[in-house]
């Protein structure tokens, strides 16, 4: 078990003024605060911060940090760090002046991983090791001019404890795509823009519908970059999005259909902002998971509000039947997708090329709201509502087909008896 981390924050940024590279701001947080937040999420209770030459500024910086481990001690010189280390046990040794991929940190928490061979990975990777505390003591005591991280890496390499970072599975289920390992060690202030861009790139989800992919994404990125310097939390954005969403519901129900559609299109953009902001600023929380529930409630309220207004104006119950059909098929697809994710660990929207193409053109909220624009232009709201109902029905059955295909594929690969059963089934 690892319960101690040593964060090296002793390297200076290149430039006229001597400043710790750990205090470079990238994506709304300093590199050091970002790493400390990662350590807290991993459950590391104790951190020793090695600050050789930067003690005053780093002490001041720590006072303003949030969501970091409860015990962060400062070692100002090598002797202080050596004295603070236990005589036995294992510690994570990390570069506080780099972007460290959390997937690597999680691997380092395992007993069989001690470090990574960075060769061949994009940008290189910020030094990150798991080693006996005594090895770090020995490296600190060694009479060697090489940087401390290089000495530690050489020790692990000599012991045969490094694994090739290129062999790590880089698929991220909640992003529905493969993400290259995030790793940068900024050396200049100008590097903060590249670091922020790298963080923004990792925050983008894959397997999206066409409005989210081609229209919303650049607008979301612009809004997130605008919000990063300010104390705006993702939950604030979620709350504002929900308010706008329910305003759209009221507008639909009262007959201000064009205004309601405009509000719905705004919600489509803002819906991606809170998640990206949370991932870039390391502010994800259990409360953020409720956003998905609120999102569905808002979306379904639109369909019911449209059904209410159209049924009242046409004096017919058909719009109610259409609205309930849209909701039932949409909800069935959600349940089906969640079942597949829990069974396989992968989103069905990203199960293969066919599924990714289907997701682009499927009847999701964003797609249906954007496709309502031509119907709104010609004041054909009822026809547009019928179109949404038919579209959602077709989407469900296409999704059902791909669900069966992918479940068969997964079970046949992992369960011999299931493979035999499918082979003996005429229709599958």
Average pLDDT over residues 78-90: 86
Q: Over the range 285-314, which residues count as b (16 or more CB within 10 Å of their CB) and which as e?
A: eeebeebeebbeebbbbbbbbbbbbbbeee
Q: Is the pLDDT of residue 286 over 80?
A: no
**What is the structure's pLDDT at 118?**
60
Q: Is the pLDDT of residue 369 over 90?
A: yes
Dist. CA 374–CA 163, nearest whole Å: 55
**What is the structure's pLDDT at 303?**
97
Instruction: Provide the mean pLDDT of the chain.
Output: 87
For 97, which DSSP code?
T
Q: Which percentage of the chain shows pLDDT scores above 70?
A: 95
| Residue 16 or 305, more confident | 305
pLDDT tens digit sequence for 113-152: 787 766 444 446 778 888 888 888 888 888 777 778 888 8
Q: Which of 9-18, 113-122, 345-354 has the lowest mean pLDDT?
A: 113-122
Q: Which of 65-69, 170-174, 271-275, 328-332 has the lowest mean pLDDT?
A: 170-174
Average pLDDT over residues 344-365: 90
Terminal Cα-to-Cα distance of the chain (whole angstroms):
47
**What is the structure's pLDDT at 121?**
44
Average pLDDT over residues 364-391: 95
Q: Is the pLDDT of residue 224 over 80?
A: yes
CB 27 within 8 A of CB 194: no
**What is the structure's pLDDT at 122?**
45
Place of tokens 């999102």: 295
Q: Is the pLDDT of residue 395 over 90?
A: yes
Neighbour-count burial of 225, counting CB atoms closer than 10 A to its CB (0-12 exposed, 13-18 middle, 19+ buried): middle
Dist. CA 55–CA 125, nearest whole Å: 26
**What is the structure's pLDDT at 426?**
67
Same fold, 4-173 and 204-423: no
pLDDT tens digit sequence for 225-244: 999 988 898 989 999 999 99
Q: Which percentage of the chain shows pLDDT scores above 90?
A: 42
**What is the structure's pLDDT at 120?**
42
| Residue 250 or 85, more confident | 250
| Residue 275 or 121, more confident | 275
- Domain segments of the chain: what residues? 4-173, 204-423
CATH number of 204-423: 1.20.120.1760
CA triplet 196, 202, 208: central angle to 5 degrees? 130
Beta bridge partners of 128: 94
Structure tokens at 357: 């193409």
Dist. CA 156–CA 116, nearest whole Å: 9
Q: Which superfamily does 4-173 belong to?
A: Spore Coat Polysaccharide Biosynthesis Protein SpsA; Chain A (3.90.550.10)
Structure tokens at 212: 């989210």
Dist. CA 167–CA 249, nearest whole Å: 49
Q: Is the pLDDT of residue 106 over 50?
A: yes
Dist. CA 92–CA 308, nearest whole Å: 59
pLDDT tens digit sequence for 199-208: 888 888 888 8
Q: Is the pLDDT of residue 78 over 90?
A: no
Q: Over the range 144-158, which residues count as b (16 or more CB within 10 Å of their CB) and which as e?
A: eeeebbebbbebbee
State which of 63-67, 110-114, 421-425 shows the largest mean pLDDT.
Answer: 63-67
């Amino acid at each position: 078990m690892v319960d101690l981390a040593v964060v090296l924050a002793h390297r200076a940024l290149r430039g006229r003024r001597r400043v710790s590279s750990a205090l470079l701001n990238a994506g709304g947080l300093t590199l050091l605060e970002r790493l400390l937040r990662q350590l807290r999420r991993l459950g590391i209770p104790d951190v020793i911060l090695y600050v050789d030459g930067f003690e005053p500024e780093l002490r001041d910086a720590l006072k303003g940090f949030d969501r970091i481990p409860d015990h962060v001690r400062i070692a100002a010189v090598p002797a202080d760090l050596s004295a603070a280390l236990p005589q036995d046990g294992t510690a994570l040794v990390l570069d506080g002046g780099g972007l460290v991929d959390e997937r690597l940190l999680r691997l380092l928490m395992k007993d069989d991983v001690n470090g990574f061979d960075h060769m061949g990975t994009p940008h290189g990777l910020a030094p990150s090791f798991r080693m006996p505390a005594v090895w770090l003591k020995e490296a600190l005591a060694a009479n060697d001019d090489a940087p401390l991280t290089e000495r530690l890496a050489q020790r692990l390499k000599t012991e045969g404890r490094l694994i090739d970072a290129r062999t790590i599975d880089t698929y991220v289920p909640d992003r529905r795509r493969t993400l290259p390992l995030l790793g940068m060690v900024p050396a200049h202030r100008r590097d903060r823009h590249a670091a922020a861009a790298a963080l923004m790139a990792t925050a983008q989800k894959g397997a999206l519908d066409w409005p989210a992919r081609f229209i919303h994404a650049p607008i979301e990125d612009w809004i997130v970059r605008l919000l990063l310097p300010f104390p705006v939390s993702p939950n604030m954005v979620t709350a504002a999005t929900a308010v706008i969403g329910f305003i759209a519901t009221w507008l639909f129900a009262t007959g201000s259909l064009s205004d309601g559609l405009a509000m719905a299109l705004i919600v489509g953009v803002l819906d991606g902002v809170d998640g990206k902001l949370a991932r870039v600023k390391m502010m994800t929380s259990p409360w953020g998971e409720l956003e998905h529930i609120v999102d569905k409630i808002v979306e379904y309220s639109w369909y019911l509000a449209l059904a209410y207004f159209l049924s009242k104006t046409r004096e017919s119950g058909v719009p109610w039947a259409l609205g309930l059909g849209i909701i039932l098929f949409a909800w069935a697809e959600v349940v089906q997708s969640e079942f597949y994710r829990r069974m396989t660990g992968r989103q069905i929207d990203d199960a293969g090329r066919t599924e990714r193409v289907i997701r682009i053109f499927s009847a999701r909220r964003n797609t249906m709201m954007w496709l309502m624009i031509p119907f709104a232009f010609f004041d054909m709201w009822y026809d547009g509502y019928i179109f949404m109902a038919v579209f959602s029905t077709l989407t469900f059955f296409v999704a059902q087909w791909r669900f069966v295909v992918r479940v068969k594929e997964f079970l046949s690969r992992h369960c011999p008896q299931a493979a035999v059963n499918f082979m003996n089934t005429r229709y599958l």
